[in-house]
Amino acid sequence: AVRERAGGTRREAGDGTGREAASGPDAGTGSGSRAPLPADALAYDAYGDPYEVAARVRARGGRVVATGGCFDLLHAGHVALLEAARAAGDCLVVCLNSDDSVRRGKGPGRPLVPARDRARLLTALGCVDAVLVFGEETPERALRALRPDVWAKGADYTRDGLPEADLVESWGGQVVLVPYLAGHSTTALAHRAATRSFP
Protein backbone atom coordinates (compact mmCIF):
# COMPACT_ATOMS: atom_id res chain seq x y z
CA ALA A 1 0.00 0.00 0.00
CA VAL A 2 1.18 3.53 -0.71
CA ARG A 3 1.85 5.47 2.48
CA GLU A 4 -0.12 8.70 2.75
CA ARG A 5 2.22 11.63 3.04
CA ALA A 6 1.96 14.30 5.66
CA GLY A 7 0.66 17.01 3.38
CA GLY A 8 -2.44 16.14 1.38
CA THR A 9 -3.05 16.79 -2.31
CA ARG A 10 0.04 16.63 -4.44
CA ARG A 11 1.24 19.65 -6.35
CA GLU A 12 4.27 19.00 -8.49
CA ALA A 13 7.37 21.04 -7.83
CA GLY A 14 8.68 23.08 -10.71
CA ASP A 15 5.34 23.57 -12.48
CA GLY A 16 4.31 26.86 -10.95
CA THR A 17 4.52 25.82 -7.30
CA GLY A 18 8.03 27.14 -6.65
CA ARG A 19 7.83 30.57 -5.02
CA GLU A 20 9.64 32.85 -2.66
CA ALA A 21 9.53 31.56 0.86
CA ALA A 22 8.18 33.65 3.73
CA SER A 23 9.67 37.12 3.55
CA GLY A 24 8.44 38.42 6.90
CA PRO A 25 7.68 37.20 10.41
CA ASP A 26 3.93 36.88 9.83
CA ALA A 27 3.99 35.30 6.38
CA GLY A 28 2.72 31.81 5.76
CA THR A 29 0.93 29.57 8.19
CA GLY A 30 0.51 31.74 11.24
CA SER A 31 3.88 31.38 12.97
CA GLY A 32 4.41 34.93 14.20
CA SER A 33 7.97 34.15 15.27
CA ARG A 34 9.13 32.85 11.90
CA ALA A 35 12.41 34.37 10.80
CA PRO A 36 12.55 35.77 7.26
CA LEU A 37 14.39 33.68 4.72
CA PRO A 38 16.77 34.97 2.05
CA ALA A 39 15.12 36.40 -1.06
CA ASP A 40 16.48 33.54 -3.16
CA ALA A 41 15.00 30.84 -0.92
CA LEU A 42 12.34 28.93 -2.81
CA ALA A 43 9.82 26.49 -1.40
CA TYR A 44 9.20 23.55 -3.69
CA ASP A 45 6.18 21.76 -2.33
CA ALA A 46 5.42 18.09 -2.80
CA TYR A 47 2.27 17.90 -0.69
CA GLY A 48 1.90 21.47 0.58
CA ASP A 49 4.65 23.94 1.44
CA PRO A 50 7.14 23.00 4.17
CA TYR A 51 5.50 25.19 6.81
CA GLU A 52 2.01 23.85 6.09
CA VAL A 53 3.31 20.29 6.20
CA ALA A 54 5.01 20.96 9.54
CA ALA A 55 1.92 22.67 10.97
CA ARG A 56 -0.36 19.77 10.02
CA VAL A 57 2.00 17.22 11.53
CA ARG A 58 2.37 19.20 14.74
CA ALA A 59 -1.40 19.65 15.01
CA ARG A 60 -1.64 15.85 15.19
CA GLY A 61 1.08 15.67 17.83
CA GLY A 62 3.70 14.43 15.36
CA ARG A 63 7.39 15.15 14.99
CA VAL A 64 8.85 17.21 12.15
CA VAL A 65 12.17 15.96 10.79
CA ALA A 66 14.47 17.99 8.56
CA THR A 67 17.69 17.13 6.81
CA GLY A 68 19.87 19.06 4.44
CA GLY A 69 22.42 18.87 1.68
CA CYS A 70 23.13 19.35 -2.01
CA PHE A 71 21.70 16.02 -3.22
CA ASP A 72 23.45 16.50 -6.54
CA LEU A 73 23.23 13.41 -8.78
CA LEU A 74 20.83 11.61 -6.44
CA HIS A 75 22.20 8.15 -5.58
CA ALA A 76 21.60 5.17 -3.27
CA GLY A 77 23.49 6.78 -0.40
CA HIS A 78 21.19 9.78 -0.52
CA VAL A 79 18.09 7.59 -0.58
CA ALA A 80 19.29 5.56 2.42
CA LEU A 81 19.88 8.78 4.36
CA LEU A 82 16.46 10.18 3.48
CA GLU A 83 14.64 6.98 4.38
CA ALA A 84 16.42 6.78 7.73
CA ALA A 85 15.68 10.45 8.43
CA ARG A 86 11.98 10.02 7.61
CA ALA A 87 11.78 7.08 10.02
CA ALA A 88 12.80 9.43 12.86
CA GLY A 89 9.49 11.30 12.77
CA ASP A 90 6.20 11.93 10.99
CA CYS A 91 7.28 14.08 8.04
CA LEU A 92 10.54 14.95 6.32
CA VAL A 93 11.47 18.38 4.97
CA VAL A 94 14.68 18.55 2.94
CA CYS A 95 16.66 21.80 3.17
CA LEU A 96 18.35 21.89 -0.23
CA ASN A 97 21.36 24.05 -1.15
CA SER A 98 20.64 26.40 -4.04
CA ASP A 99 22.82 26.34 -7.15
CA ASP A 100 24.84 29.34 -5.96
CA SER A 101 25.27 27.80 -2.53
CA VAL A 102 26.54 24.54 -4.04
CA ARG A 103 28.88 26.41 -6.37
CA ARG A 104 30.40 28.35 -3.50
CA GLY A 105 30.93 25.19 -1.48
CA LYS A 106 31.89 22.68 -4.18
CA GLY A 107 33.48 24.77 -6.90
CA PRO A 108 32.59 26.12 -10.36
CA GLY A 109 31.77 22.70 -11.85
CA ARG A 110 28.91 22.07 -9.48
CA PRO A 111 26.07 21.46 -9.19
CA LEU A 112 25.71 18.97 -12.00
CA VAL A 113 21.93 19.08 -11.63
CA PRO A 114 20.12 22.43 -11.13
CA ALA A 115 18.16 23.06 -7.94
CA ARG A 116 14.75 22.88 -9.60
CA ASP A 117 15.51 19.40 -10.94
CA ARG A 118 17.11 18.26 -7.70
CA ALA A 119 13.98 19.37 -5.87
CA ARG A 120 11.72 17.52 -8.28
CA LEU A 121 13.72 14.33 -7.87
CA LEU A 122 13.56 14.61 -4.10
CA THR A 123 9.83 15.24 -4.00
CA ALA A 124 9.29 12.17 -6.17
CA LEU A 125 10.60 9.99 -3.33
CA GLY A 126 8.02 8.54 -0.98
CA CYS A 127 10.07 9.48 2.07
CA VAL A 128 10.21 13.23 1.30
CA ASP A 129 7.24 15.44 2.16
CA ALA A 130 8.58 18.86 1.13
CA VAL A 131 11.73 20.61 -0.04
CA LEU A 132 13.00 24.04 0.97
CA VAL A 133 15.79 25.54 -1.15
CA PHE A 134 18.10 27.96 0.66
CA GLY A 135 20.83 30.18 -0.75
CA GLU A 136 23.26 30.44 2.15
CA GLU A 137 26.33 28.39 3.04
CA THR A 138 24.58 26.65 5.92
CA PRO A 139 20.88 26.13 6.68
CA GLU A 140 20.57 28.02 9.98
CA ARG A 141 18.07 30.60 8.72
CA ALA A 142 15.92 27.95 7.07
CA LEU A 143 16.02 25.88 10.26
CA ARG A 144 15.15 28.89 12.40
CA ALA A 145 12.06 29.42 10.26
CA LEU A 146 11.03 25.75 10.18
CA ARG A 147 12.06 24.81 13.75
CA PRO A 148 12.16 21.04 13.20
CA ASP A 149 11.89 18.65 16.13
CA VAL A 150 14.66 16.52 14.63
CA TRP A 151 17.64 17.53 12.48
CA ALA A 152 19.01 14.40 10.80
CA LYS A 153 22.41 14.10 9.16
CA GLY A 154 24.52 11.17 8.03
CA ALA A 155 26.81 9.45 10.50
CA ASP A 156 29.80 10.61 8.45
CA TYR A 157 29.25 13.86 10.39
CA THR A 158 29.68 14.42 14.11
CA ARG A 159 27.40 16.49 16.29
CA ASP A 160 30.23 18.93 17.07
CA GLY A 161 31.00 19.23 13.36
CA LEU A 162 27.53 20.62 12.61
CA PRO A 163 27.42 24.41 13.08
CA GLU A 164 23.62 24.28 13.20
CA ALA A 165 23.44 21.75 16.07
CA ASP A 166 23.35 24.35 18.86
CA LEU A 167 20.58 26.23 17.06
CA VAL A 168 18.36 23.16 16.71
CA GLU A 169 18.88 22.23 20.34
CA SER A 170 18.10 25.80 21.46
CA TRP A 171 14.36 25.22 20.92
CA GLY A 172 14.41 21.66 22.24
CA GLY A 173 15.14 19.99 18.92
CA GLN A 174 17.24 16.86 18.62
CA VAL A 175 20.25 16.25 16.37
CA VAL A 176 20.24 12.67 15.06
CA LEU A 177 23.03 11.01 13.09
CA VAL A 178 21.58 8.30 10.87
CA PRO A 179 23.49 5.36 9.34
CA TYR A 180 25.69 6.34 6.42
CA LEU A 181 25.83 4.11 3.35
CA ALA A 182 29.52 4.09 2.48
CA GLY A 183 30.88 3.81 -1.03
CA HIS A 184 28.45 6.22 -2.71
CA SER A 185 29.25 9.81 -3.65
CA THR A 186 28.36 12.33 -6.31
CA THR A 187 32.05 13.10 -6.86
CA ALA A 188 32.80 9.43 -7.57
CA LEU A 189 29.83 9.16 -9.93
CA ALA A 190 30.91 12.27 -11.83
CA HIS A 191 34.46 10.93 -12.12
CA ARG A 192 33.22 7.61 -13.45
CA ALA A 193 31.06 9.35 -16.02
CA ALA A 194 33.92 11.60 -17.12
CA THR A 195 36.41 8.74 -17.43
CA ARG A 196 33.88 6.08 -18.44
CA SER A 197 35.29 3.87 -15.69
CA PHE A 198 32.08 2.11 -14.73
CA PRO A 199 32.13 -1.02 -12.54
pLDDT in tens, 122-160: 999 999 999 999 999 889 999 999 999 999 998 888 999
**C-alpha distance from residue 5 to each of 80, 124, 128 (Å):** 18, 12, 8
Give residue limits of the domains in the chain. 19-195
**C-alpha distance from residue 69 to each of 3, 31, 72, 103, 195 (Å):** 25, 25, 9, 13, 26
Q: Would you say residue 93 has pLDDT above 70? A: yes
For residue 67, the cross-strand partners are: 94, 152
Give residue 196's pLDDT band: very low, low, confident or very high (50, 70, 90).
Answer: low
CA distance 84 to 82: 5
Contact 45, 11 (CB under 8 A): yes
What's the CATH number of domain 19-195, 3.40.50.620, 3.40.50.150, 2.60.40.10, 3.60.15.10? Answer: 3.40.50.620
pLDDT of residue 188: 52
Return the closest-CA partner of residue 121 out of 102, 148, 158, 94.
94
What pLDDT, in 10s, does the model give residues 158-171? 999 999 999 999 99
